[in-house]
């Protein structure tokens, strides 16, 4: 639907110009309203026009695809240095629910070099079939190679839904593939469901800086695509008695298709910042007071074999790099144990760690919101509490 101005009816009152929240309406030489390309079709101007000169005009639908030809729910199973990333298993668990609700199969998409053994993990996690594309050109993630492989799979086998993890690779691959198959993509989802009225996938994601949650549908294009944050969903219990159909697909990538060459892999971070896969995370916030005090966070994380996290306030202050940030605008995590040290518990931070199994909060403010979600709370100065905890945990591990 597009918003249009009927010039003959416009009285040049300017009400719509002042009302548009996006600054998408200007005036022409005769002072009549002109709607620019910045318009989002929100309709705010329609409600304020005193003479009804602004209307919605239905645009001709350009998507002439046969949607009935598209079936099955696909999950992209991401690999990293030869290892299966947990987000693929998490999405298989949630994809199983979508597939059953839609009466369709759940399929995994596995691309890599000598990765066939990983297919059994996909079957154990609920997949009915796995599409396997193998070759040396897929040994490391390459935007060109993986985009060509995924695009070919979609155009050949026509899935109804395609889920990817909102990781660095997934956020790069998803938009490329969506563009080539001419469909939409909902990014950074935190919830999935089925819309009761239409039967479409209802993609839920934060909007307006996390202040609201938007539900997005893709009615006219296929597949319905979206990236989903890691750790939003729990991994399903594996059932290794399950089996499924392994569909081998020949690679269509030619050497000339790959425009980049991997020269070297330089690791700039240890396991201490691998937040998505960590089972224990120790996070620090504004209450750590200064960057030097984060050594206490790092020492406790080291004693527990965990990862180091940080609140947005700590990252914005330059105390820790952004790759450590947990929260609405950072990483979504779900470890077995989450330590919140000097973190007040802003809603944006809670959104990124609320799926943790056990939350332990340390804060000198007994009324801090973090204690409302914590399983265990310590009211005290983190500078005094952290060294004591670290020492005790080292003793326990030593024994």
Among candidates 336, 276, 351, which has minimal Cα distance to 309? 276
Longest alpha-carbon distance in the chain: 86
To the question of whether residue 18 is assigned a binding role by annotation, the answer is: no
* Residue range 305-323, pLDDT digits in tens: 899 999 999 999 999 988 8
pLDDT tier, 67 (very low <50, low <70, confident <90, very high otherwise): confident
To the question of whether residue 222 is assigned a binding role by annotation, the answer is: no
Dist. CA 292–CA 148, nearest whole Å = 47
pLDDT tier, 272 (very low <50, low <70, confident <90, very high otherwise): low
Dist. CA 332–CA 340, nearest whole Å = 14
* Cis previous bond, 223, omega within 30: yes
The mean pLDDT value for 343-365 works out to 90
To the question of whether residue 95 is assigned a binding role by annotation, the answer is: no
pLDDT tier, 161 (very low <50, low <70, confident <90, very high otherwise): very high
The mean pLDDT value for 275-289 works out to 90
Burial (Cβ within 10 Å: 0-12, 13-18, ≥19) of residue 393: middle
Helix (H, G, I), strand (E, B) or coil at 37: coil
Domains parsed from the chain with CATH numbers: 2-57 (3.30.70.20), 67-257 (3.40.50.620), 271-398 (3.40.50.1220)
* Residue range 112-130, pLDDT digits in tens: 999 999 999 999 999 999 9
Query: What pLDDT was estimated at residue 208?
Result: 67
How is residue 238 written in tokens? 């594996």
To the question of whether residue 171 is assigned a binding role by annotation, the answer is: no
Helix (H, G, I), strand (E, B) or coil at 214: strand
To the question of whether residue 197 is assigned a binding role by annotation, the answer is: no
CA torsion 260-261-262-263 (nearest 10°) is -130
The mean pLDDT value for 372-381 works out to 94
Q: Residues 6 or more apart from 113 whose CB is under 8 A from it?
A: 134, 135, 136, 137, 138, 139
Dist. CA 92–CA 70, nearest whole Å = 19
To the question of whether residue 360 is assigned a binding role by annotation, the answer is: no
Helix (H, G, I), strand (E, B) or coil at 213: strand
To the question of whether residue 286 is assigned a binding role by annotation, the answer is: yes
To the question of whether residue 75 is assigned a binding role by annotation, the answer is: no
To the question of whether residue 344 is assigned a binding role by annotation, the answer is: yes
pLDDT tier, 255 (very low <50, low <70, confident <90, very high otherwise): confident
Q: What is the pTM of this model?
A: 0.70
Dist. CA 339–CA 250, nearest whole Å = 47
CA dihedral sign of residues 179, 180, 183, 189: negative
Among candidates 352, 297, 340, which has minimal Cα distance to 319? 297
Phi-psi region of 210 (alpha: psi -120 to 50; beta: other; left: phi over 0): left
Query: What pLDDT was estimated at residue 210?
Result: 59
To the question of whether residue 363 is assigned a binding role by annotation, the answer is: yes
Q: Are 116 and 134 in contact (CB under 8 A)?
A: yes
Dist. CA 315–CA 95, nearest whole Å = 34
Query: What pLDDT was estimated at residue 63?
Result: 47
To the question of whether residue 68 is assigned a binding role by annotation, the answer is: no
DSSP state of 34: E
């Amino acid at each position: 639907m597009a918003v249009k101005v009927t010039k003959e009816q416009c009285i040049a009152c300017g009400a719509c110009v002042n009302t548009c929240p996006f600054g998408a309406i200007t005036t022409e030489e005769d002072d009549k309203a002109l709607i620019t390309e910045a318009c989002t079709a929100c309709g705010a101007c329609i409600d304020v026009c005193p003479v009804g000169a602004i209307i919605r005009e239905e645009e001709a639908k350009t998507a002439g695809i046969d949607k009935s030809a598209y079936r099955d729910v696909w999950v992209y199973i991401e690999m990293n240095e030869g290892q299966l990333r947990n987000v693929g298993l998490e999405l298989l668990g949630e994809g199983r629910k979508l597939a059953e609700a839609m009466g369709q199969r759940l399929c995994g998409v596995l691309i890599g070099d000598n990765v066939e053994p990983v297919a059994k993990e996909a079957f154990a996690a609920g997949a009915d079939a796995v599409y396997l594309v193998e070759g040396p050109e897929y040994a490391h993630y390459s935007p060109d190679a993986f985009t060509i492989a995924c695009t070919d799979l979609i155009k050949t086998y026509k899935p109804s839904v395609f889920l990817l993890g909102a990781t660095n690779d997934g956020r790069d691959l998803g938009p490329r593939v969506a563009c080539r198959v001419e469909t939409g993509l909902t990014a950074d989802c935190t919830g999935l469901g089925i819309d009761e009225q239409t039967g479409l996938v209802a993609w839920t994601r934060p909007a307006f800086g996390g202040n609201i949650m938007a539900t997005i549908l893709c009615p006219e294009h296929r597949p319905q695509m979206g990236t989903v944050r890691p750790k939003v969903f729990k991994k399903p219990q594996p059932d290794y008695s399950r089996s499924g159909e392994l569909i081998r697909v020949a690679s269509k990538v030619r050497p000339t298709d790959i425009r980049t060459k991997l020269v070297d892999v330089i690791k700039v971070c240890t396991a201490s910042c691998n937040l998505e896969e960590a089972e224990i995370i120790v996070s620090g916030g504004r209450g750590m007071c200064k960057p030097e005090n984060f050594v206490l966070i790092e020492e406790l994380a080291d004693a527990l074999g965990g990862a180091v996290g940080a609140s947005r306030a700590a990252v914005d202050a330059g105390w820790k790099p952004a790759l450590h940030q947990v929260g609405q605008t950072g990483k979504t995590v779900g470890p077995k144990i989450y330590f919140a040290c000097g973190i007040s518990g802003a809603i944006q931070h809670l959104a990124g760690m609320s799926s943790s199994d056990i939350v332990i909060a340390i804060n000198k403010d007994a009324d801090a919101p973090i204690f409302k979600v914590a399983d265990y709370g310590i009211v005290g100065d983190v500078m005094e509490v952290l060294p004591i905890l670290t020492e005790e945990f080292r003793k326990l591990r030593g024994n």
